[in-house]
Amino acid sequence: MSSISSIALSGMNTAQTRLDASAHNVANLSTDGFRRQEVVQTEQSGGGVSPAIRRSASTGPALEQDVVEQLQAKNSFLANLAVFKTSNKMAGVLLDQKA
């Protein structure tokens, strides 16, 4: 089983991948024949997620979907960061108690 910190870190990495893919989609809105990038999350055994990027089956932009994706990625990153910080703080308190 993975530690809480490594699970939160995998969430932050996945959120960053989602943000990168969404930014790539927005940057290529006017490219003819462009197929959007989509991020698929896969659960890891022991906890956490791993991202994979795939191309959309259809061509064309979906700006509203990309804006929502950016907001979701930002909020997911911040939530996982809070878990990561809390986990490290708890580990520090436990180490102080034992010392």
In this prediction, residue 99 has a pLDDT band, given cuts at 50, 70 and 90, of low
Domain count for the chain, please give it. Answer: 1
The C-alpha atoms of residue 99 and residue 18 are separated, in whole angstroms, by 41
Residue 97 lies in a domain: no
Mean pLDDT of 29-49: 93
Domain enclosing residue 16, as ranges: 4-89
Backbone angles phi, psi at 56, to 5 degrees: -65, 150
Query: Tens of pLDDT along 48-61?
Result: 999 999 999 888 88
Backbone angles phi, psi at 45, to 5 degrees: -65, 135
Q: What is the pLDDT of residue 89?
A: 87
Residue 95 lies in a domain: no
Q: Out of 28-37, 62-71, 79-88, 90-99, which region has the weakest mean confidence (pLDDT)? A: 90-99
In this prediction, residue 9 has a pLDDT band, given cuts at 50, 70 and 90, of very high
Q: What is the pLDDT of residue 61?
A: 84
Contact 5, 87 (CB under 8 A): yes
